[in-house]
Amino acid sequence: MRERKAQVWGLLAPTLFLMFAIGVVPVIYILYLSAFKYNVFSRVGMVYTGFNNFRKLVFDTDFLKSLRLGLTFVALCCGIELPLGLLIANLLTLEFRGKGLFRTIMTLPLAMAPITIGSMWVLLMNPDIGPIPFYLRKLGVEYNIGVNPTQAFFTTVLVDIWHWTPFVVLTFMAGLSALPKQPYEAAVVDGASRWQVFRYITIPLLKPVILTTLFIRIMDTFRVFDEVWMLTSGGPGTATRYVSIHLVRLVLQSMEYGYSSAMSLFLLYLTIVMCWLLMTFISSSQEAA
């Protein structure tokens, strides 16, 4: 038996070692660095400053603005994608010819590299060559995401909708097809309207899937980087400077490793808390059901 135990740890050892090296060590390193003032260009090297970086972080208006902007982006994307996805998935419950083809088309954006999606939309939105600014100009609308902050912000939302609404639709379609049939038959016997069936049967039954999807979408939109980086790099000004973009720009431009680490640690903490809260919420609502 003891021999078996050693063998089991033998199976786990490489994974544990690797995950410790690339998953745990960096976090400890961030923790360590966040207590220092460490700029590559400064001649003094690392200077211990205790909690100074965190004090700076709490009063950093740029960071707080990027956090607010990021959360607005999350709310807007999820607020549009989920109802839209639910609506479409609910419409597509019936069988029809070409459903398989439709699903294949919907899967396409999910497999594409986010950076490709960014460059694809650059090709569409560029004021010199893109068809969208071209036709909008004919309608009398000047459209330039490199200049107009509002347009840039809503363009990133549009790209996210393009990228992830198919995911929401496919998830909800899978969830809907797994629902039991009896409640629906009972509702038809009782003469319930379409809206009533949707509101009082579909939504409650689909709740676990809806919450899981919402959770994944919240976390993914919060950490969005590639598409926005390719499309606007956070500009114009700070219009699309969401948290990840803000952090990367800070690292690349200022090389303030200590302060960046403090910010990283805070974001990591925020992610874990958000994950934990949402997952607790999901499991408690599943128990209640």
Partner 1 sequence: MQRKTLRLALVYVVCVLIAIFTLFPIYWMFVVSARTKLEVFSGPKLVQTSFYAFNYYRPFFRDVYGRYLVNSLIIASGNTLLVISLAVLATYAFSRFRVPGSSNLFFWTITNRMAPPAVFIVPFFLIFTRLGLRDTRIGIILLYCIFNLPFAIWLLKGMIDSIPKELDEAAYIDGCSLFGVLWNVILPLAKPGIMTTAILTWIFAWNEYLFAAILTSVHARTITTGLAEFVTVIGTNWGEMAAVSVICLIPAVIFIGIAQRHIIAGLTFGAVKD
Q: Which of residues 176-215 bind partner 1 (CB under 8 A)?
A: 178, 209, 212-213
Site for partner 1 in 106-165 (CB under 8 A): 106-116, 119-124, 126, 128-131, 134-135, 162
Per this entry, what is the length of the chain?
289
> What is the nearest approach in angstroms of partner 1 to the Cβ of residue 254?
11
> What is the nearest approach in angstroms of partner 1 to the Cβ of residue 43?
18
Site for partner 1 in 80-109 (CB under 8 A): 88, 91-92, 94, 96, 98, 102-109
> What is the nearest approach in angstroms of partner 1 to the Cβ of residue 222?
7
> For residues 259 and 56, is the Cβ–Cβ distance under 8 A?
yes
Nearer to partner 1, 25 or 203 (CB): 25
Of residues 12, 44, 189, 288, which one binds partner 1 by CB under 8 A?
Answer: 12
Of residues 4, 59, 140, 193, which one binds partner 1 by CB under 8 A?
Answer: 4
Residues sharing a CB contact under 8 Å with residue 113, sequence separation 6 or more, in sequence order: 226
Q: Which stretch binds partner 1 (CB under 8 A): 48-56, 57-65, 184-192, 272-280?
A: 272-280
Of residues 36, 63, 73, 167, which one binds partner 1 by CB under 8 A?
Answer: 167
Of residues 151, 156, 240, 261, which one binds partner 1 by CB under 8 A?
Answer: 261
> For residues 286 and 208, is the Cβ–Cβ distance under 8 A?
yes
Of residues 56, 223, 235, 236, which one binds partner 1 by CB under 8 A?
Answer: 223
For residue 37, the SS3 value is strand
Of residues 225, 235, 236, 238, which one binds partner 1 by CB under 8 A?
Answer: 225
Alpha helices in 42-181 (DSSP H): 52-58, 61-91, 99-111, 114-125, 131-138, 149-177
**14 makes contact with partner 1 (CB under 8 A):** yes
Number of helices and strands in the chain (H, E): 14, 2
Whole-angstrom distance, CA of residue 60 vs CA of residue 177: 48
Site for partner 1 in 17-36 (CB under 8 A): 18-19, 21-23, 25-27, 29-30, 33
Nearer to partner 1, 186 or 280 (CB): 280
Whole-angstrom distance, CA of residue 240 vs CA of residue 66: 8
Site for partner 1 in 37-76 (CB under 8 A): none
**230 makes contact with partner 1 (CB under 8 A):** yes
Nearer to partner 1, 52 or 103 (CB): 103
Whole-angstrom distance, CA of residue 223 vs CA of residue 187: 42
Nearer to partner 1, 61 or 177 (CB): 177
> For residues 261 and 270, is the Cβ–Cβ distance under 8 A?
no
Which residue in the block uniquely carries the two structure tokens 């294949």?
104
Residues sharing a CB contact under 8 Å with residue 198, sequence separation 6 or more, in sequence order: 90
> For residues 125 and 231, is the Cβ–Cβ distance under 8 A?
yes
Longest dimension (CA), the chain: 80
